[in-house]
A and B are shown apart, each in its own frame.
Chain A
Amino acid sequence: MLVDNPPQGFLRIDFDRGLPDPTFNSHVGPLYAKRGEKGTADEFVLGFRVRPHMCNPAGGLHGGMMMTVADLVGTMGAGTLAGIRKFLPTVNMTFDFVAPAKVGDWVEGRAELVRVTRSLIFSTIYLTVGEEKILRASAIAKIPSGEGPAFGKARLERTPA
């Protein structure tokens, strides 16, 4: 049994509070988040330990898993940095797969806001293993007008992972 053993400060994200079935984010996970000091690169960090069910036939982290996590960083993460707690639909993402990752690696994802308009958030996203970048993504997410649904029911579990 693989234990995720997340680094200090990471809490598991519970995406499905009150939902009858686990949704995709739970199905591919578990995923963790860390909240750091406002204005720093660590203000919002997504993290996960690479497990076999996230991998491709060659035994490396599947590109689909990288894109899934980058998509979350570009919506939930960039939205958090912009102070928006709505569900932000993705409009475009461009992914560059710069390096592989393997089972057991701890992967982190961070967003950098490029520009926030009334209706769009432009961000740059990196997934990293330690100091090494494994994925660069450029994301555009839409900010829905009006109230819109909140970002699901995702909450950070306060119990230790």
Chain B
Amino acid sequence: MSNVPPDFRELTEATGFAAANGPWFEKIENGRAIRGFRPGPQHANALGIVHGGMLAAFLDSAMGTAVWHVLKRRAVTIRLSIDYLGPGRLGEWLQAEGEVVGHDEHMAQVRGRLYGPRHDVLASVGSFALLSRHRTVNVRS
């Protein structure tokens, strides 16, 4: 896939909502997961900038992935608070990442950031419930 910065791999295992609104990409840098995508017309709102729902979904995915990479636990989002700082523009490469700022056996607190080449787009903080180490995510077809 052209137009993707080096070291990013496409998340080909995506299904459902993520697949329908992809392709999404990821790279691991110094143990941190960074996700990226390049928005197109299908991600736009009525103003011709990226829809807030799409941005929220993408940032949420990056924050959940951060939990997995740091704690090796699957997690589900319980609460997410997002500040919309600036527009996401179509055609610009957008990146999102999460930082685990605290956790116990059941919950993790994550700070998230979504940004373009020149400016921050979203800032967020979220609480994620950690799934049991023994529980496998039941994937339905």
Contact = CB atoms under 8 A, between A and B. Distances in A.
Given A54-B16, A154-B46, A92 B56 contact: no
Contact of B45 (A25, A52, A63): A25
Contacts of A64: 17-18, 21, 53-54, 56-58, 60-61
A59 interface: yes
Given A56-B17, A59-B140, A64-B58, A90 B84 contact: yes
Contacts, number: 139
Given A56-B17, A97-B77, A67 B60 contact: yes
Interface in A13-37: 15, 20-25, 27-28
B54 A58 contact: no
Given A68-B56, A91-B84, A93-B81, A53 B16 contact: yes
A54 to B, nearest CB: 6
Interface centre among A70, A92, A95 (most CB of B within 10 A): A95
A63 B76 CA distance: 9
A108 interface: no
A55 to B, nearest CB: 4
A87 B46 CA distance: 8
Given A25-B45, A64-B56, A57 B78 contact: no
B31 interface: no
- Main secondary structure on chain B at its contact with chain A? mixed
B129 to A, nearest CB: 9
A20 B90 CA distance: 15
A68 B57 CA distance: 8
B53 A92 contact: no
| Size category, B interface | 35 or more
Contacts of B140: 58-59
27 contacts: A22-B41, A23-B45, A23-B51, A24-B21, A24-B42, A24-B45, A24-B51, A24-B53, A28-B20, A53-B19, A56-B16, A59-B16, A62-B18, A63-B60, A64-B57, A67-B53, A67-B57, A87-B46, A93-B81, A93-B84, A95-B56, A96-B79, A97-B76, A97-B79, A149-B46, A149-B47, A153-B46
Interface string B75-89: 011111111100000
